[in-house]
Amino acid sequence: MRLKRSSAAPPLLDPLDSPTPWPFSGGNMDSSIAEPHTNPAVLHAGTDAGAPAPSLPPASARAPDAPPRAPHFVTPQKMHFAEPLPLQNGSSLAGYDLMVETYGTLNAAHSNAVLVCHALNASHHVAGAYESDPADLGWWDNMVGPGKPLDTERFFVIGVNNLGSCFGSTGPMSLDPATGRPYGASFPVITVEDWVNAQARVADAFGIERFAAVMGGSLGGMQAVAWSTMHPERLGHCVVIASTPKLSAQNIAFNEVARSAILSDPDFYGGDYYAHNVIPRRGLRVARMIGHITYLSDDDMATKFGRALQRDSHEAGGDAYQFSFDVEFEVESYLRYQGDKFANYFDANTYLLITRALDYFDPAKAYDGDLTAALASTTAQYLVVSFSTDWRFAPARSRELVKALLDHKRVVTYAEIDAPHGHDAFLLDDPRYHNLVRAYYERIATEIGA
């Protein structure tokens, strides 16, 4: 499905008015679909070639005239796990905590649970707000909640803050029980697979044998893919948004530049800066600035900033260059603001760990680079969504995943959305995107009787 944008705000486009979905029975897929220059319609593949693609709810359900709901308040919980967690690097982590938030009600059959996996700088706080701070909305609050695309009046949604993070789960800032000091640089390198195994223990604690769906965007989408290969019997659907089956060399290079900015900061102290009561703020700022450049498309940056100068052009000399290395352009001011804000709440060691986990994720590595072979164990149905201007995780990477799944005759729904916002599009309010996700979860709800 290719959903196009207009030059104005994204229109409310009903896919029912789009071309008829292309059915595939797996295996014999038109090779053009996997080529970077093509823009496929819906790919709905499976052994039942005539199965319908998900339809959208009526327009009245998608665009109500009622005022928006008040924020729903949530309470995070800390779950402790005493049993050591074996890690991919050969070591293990004993006595660790995971911060968790839940939304909605788990039904009697424990069949309506959905795990939402977070990306680089997000956390367990997926949706809602805290009563003590109603303005602190979850990072995917526009997607998850009562009456939203992932409707918590029908599904029980779990958000888990991954190991190594800095929002309450055990990570480099936590005290190492062996020393009584923060782990710092001694915290083990964590992989996506380690996160998935830790999340599986959270599911066990809730008595959830099988998720209705595992969902994530960006790095969260990698975790969803890993779930489908590592624990195929434990999820019915895998929702992968703006993601990739592995990083390109260019992506790894961006991560390395960001890490180098942190590692070369004099306040980093080899990762043990906590003892010096300092923050490698300069390195974090640059790392975040690099990241933000990759999250936005060229068109989006041109629309937001262009070559506008930061100062008021109506002031005396406001439209003239100052011939200095201070902030001249609005885009410079934006990047510095984002860098400063990030350095105030994120941990540098966590940034190193998570970007390395991104680098290492490659399920095909154990199969001599054969992604089709790596996905042989999968049994879930898939929704894969990409965005046309996302050059960080380009649509071609999603199509690579789709083709490998179709080789196994898996049921796959694929949408490539023509949106101007780059990689960040998966976090934004695009009615076409949200309608698609809503329709997909409507189908899941029907399957499980939610």
* pLDDT top residue among 411 and 317: 411
Least confidently predicted of 29-33, 40-44, 167-171: 29-33
Q: Kindly indicate the confidence band of residue 369, based on its pLDDT and cuts at 50, 70 and 90.
A: very high
- Checking if the pLDDT of 49 tops 70, the result is no
Residue ranges of alpha helices (H) inside 264-347 are 281-295, 298-304, 330-345
Q: What is the pLDDT of residue 348?
A: 98
CA gap 21, 280 in Å, rounded: 51
Query: Which of these, 123, 160, 164, lies nearest to 140 by C-alpha position?
Result: 123
Query: What is the average pLDDT score of the chain?
Result: 86
Q: Phi and psi dihedrals of 300, rounded to 5? A: -65, -40
**Angle of the 219-230 helix axis to the 192-205 helix axis, nearest 10:** 70
Q: What is the pLDDT of residue 46?
A: 35
Q: What is the pLDDT of residue 70?
A: 64
Query: 3-class SS at 44?
Result: strand
- Checking if the pLDDT of 391 tops 90, the result is yes
Give the dihedral sign, CA 291/297/298/304.
Answer: negative
Q: Kindly indicate the confidence band of residue 268, based on its pLDDT and cuts at 50, 70 and 90.
A: very high
Least confidently predicted of 18-32, 48-62, 303-317, 357-371: 18-32
Q: Kindly indicate the confidence band of residue 302, based on its pLDDT and cuts at 50, 70 and 90.
A: very high
Q: Kindly indicate the confidence band of residue 68, based on its pLDDT and cuts at 50, 70 and 90.
A: low
313 is written with which tokens? 């052009």
Q: Give one DSSP letter per residue of 330-344, joined into a string.
A: HHHHHHHHHHHHHHH
Residue 416, sorted as left (phi over 0), alpha (psi -120 to 50) or beta, turns out to be beta
Q: Kindly indicate the confidence band of residue 316, based on its pLDDT and cuts at 50, 70 and 90.
A: low
Q: Kindly indicate the confidence band of residue 310, based on its pLDDT and cuts at 50, 70 and 90.
A: confident
Q: Over the range 266-287, which residues count as b (16 or more CB within 10 Å of their CB) and which as e?
A: eebeebbbbeeeebbbbbbbbb
Q: What is the mean pLDDT of residues 444-450?
A: 95
Q: In a 10 Å sphere around its CB, with 0-12 CB exposed, 13-18 middle and 19+ buried, how is residue 230 labelled?
A: middle
List pLDDT tens digits, range 71-107. 689 999 999 999 999 999 999 998 999 999 999 999 9
Q: Which residues are catalytic?
A: 218, 390, 423
Q: Kindly indicate the confidence band of residue 317, based on its pLDDT and cuts at 50, 70 and 90.
A: low
Q: How far is CA 342 from each of CA 58, 121, 288, 450, rounded to the nearest angstrom?
A: 40, 9, 7, 39
List pLDDT tens digits, range 357-367. 999 999 999 99
DSSP H or E run through 399: helix 395-406
CA 108-113-117 angle, 5° bins: 160
CA gap 424, 417 in Å, rounded: 13
Residue ranges of alpha helices (H) inside 170-238 are 192-205, 219-230
| pTM recorded for the entire structure | 0.85
- Checking if the pLDDT of 67 tops 70, the result is no
